[in-house]
């Protein structure tokens, strides 16, 4: 009975102690709560980050879409621009317009204007000569080292020709009418007062070009630059054509009387101007030396 009585006395005390411990734990939890873990959808993280800093996003997009030209060239190592120059040389006075694809490759279209007149007298014949060489060409420049030196190939269209017209003034014709007049190894007996002869020596119209060159704008970093070209146009062998007006009897170098014709005139002209034809018939290239100054856009 004593044991039962003791147990009944202890049960209320143990219950009271347990309730007190539980209350203490609850109070400690309220004072120091544990942080909550949030589950974030990964697909929403990027949009939340962009929304959080719109100025940074706009700045990044601006940097990706707008890059100054000089910074672009420094980044890529390329020289990009439009070239315009004026030049002078054996192709005459002219100009060229070009485009830089990069610091190694450029393309140009050039044009030249060339004309020269010269008057002379061959065996009492007044000779009026004109040398023309107006031209236009398409050139491709390759800078093997990405610098100032270049190799050039292209195609030139040219009206390169020498035109000669020979005639006598009326005083000379009056003196020679009915008389023998010698020209180029042939004897011409002039029949009337209106005698003229024309000759044209011309080369191929389409002429390939090969050469080397130099430009102070090799790196693409100069607004004003100097340029120089040295090369040849392959113009082919020249061709002589003649025509005449008026009447004359002809005696050839062998003493035979023949009719005047274009071939007879060509033979006489070649003999009379043999110093020129000895050179012209053997030359099939035209030297190109051009220098100029230009601007880069």
- Rounded mean pLDDT of 68-87? 66
Parse the chain into domains and list their residue ranges: 69-296
By CB atoms closer than 10 A (0-12, 13-18, 19+), residue 110 is buried
pLDDT at site 27: 56
Confidence of residue 294 (pLDDT cuts 50, 70, 90): very high
Q: Six-digit token pair at 128?
A: 């009026």
| Mean of pLDDT values over 166-176 | 62
In this predicted structure, what is the pLDDT of residue 144? 92
Beta bridge partners of 84: 97, 295
Gap between the Cα atoms of 150 and 100, Å rounded: 13
**pLDDT tens per residue across span 204-235:** 999 999 999 998 875 556 688 899 999 999 99
Question: Is pLDDT at 257 greater than 60 in this prediction?
Answer: yes
Percentage of the residues of the chain whose pLDDT score is greater than 70: 65
Chosen CATH of 69-296 out of 1.10.287, 2.40.160, 2.130.10, 3.30.70: 2.40.160
Q: How far apart, in Å, are the Cα atoms of 208 and each of 137, 149, 158, 211, 236? A: 9, 21, 11, 10, 10
Check residue 76 and give its pLDDT: 45
């Amino acid at each position: 009975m004593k044991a039962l009585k003791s147990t009944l006395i202890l049960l209320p005390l143990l219950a009271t102690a347990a309730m007190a411990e539980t209350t203490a734990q609850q109070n400690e939890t309220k004072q120091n709560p544990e942080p909550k873990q949030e589950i974030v959808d990964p697909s929403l993280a990027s949009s939340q980050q962009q929304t959080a800093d719109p100025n940074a996003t706009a700045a990044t997009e601006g940097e990706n879409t707008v890059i100054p030209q000089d910074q672009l060239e420094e980044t890529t190592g390329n020289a990009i621009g439009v070239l315009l120059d004026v030049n002078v040389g054996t192709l005459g006075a002219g100009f060229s317009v070009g485009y830089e694809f990069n610091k190694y490759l450029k393309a140009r279209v050039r044009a030249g204007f060339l004309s020269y007149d010269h008057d002379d007298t061959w065996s009492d014949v007044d000779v009026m000569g004109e040398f023309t060489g107006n031209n236009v060409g398409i050139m491709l420049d390759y800078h093997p080292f990405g610098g100032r030196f270049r190799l050039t190939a292209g195609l030139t269209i040219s009206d390169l020709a020498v035109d000669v017209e020979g005639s006598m003034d009326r005083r000379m014709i009056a003196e020679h009418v009915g008389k023998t007049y010698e020209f180029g190894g042939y004897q011409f007996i002039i029949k009337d007062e209106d005698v003229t002869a024309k000759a044209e020596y011309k080369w191929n119209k389409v002429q390939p070009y090969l050469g080397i060159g130099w430009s102070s704008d090799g790196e693409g970093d100069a607004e004003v630059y100097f340029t120089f070209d040295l090369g040849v146009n392959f113009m082919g062998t020249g061709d002589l054509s003649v025509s005449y007006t008026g009447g004359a009897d002809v005696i050839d170098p062998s003493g035979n009387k023949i009719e005047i014709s274009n071939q007879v005139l060509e033979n006489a002209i070649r003999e009379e101007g043999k110093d020129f034809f000895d050179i012209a018939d053997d030359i099939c290239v035209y030297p190109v030396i051009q220098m100029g100054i230009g601007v880069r856009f």
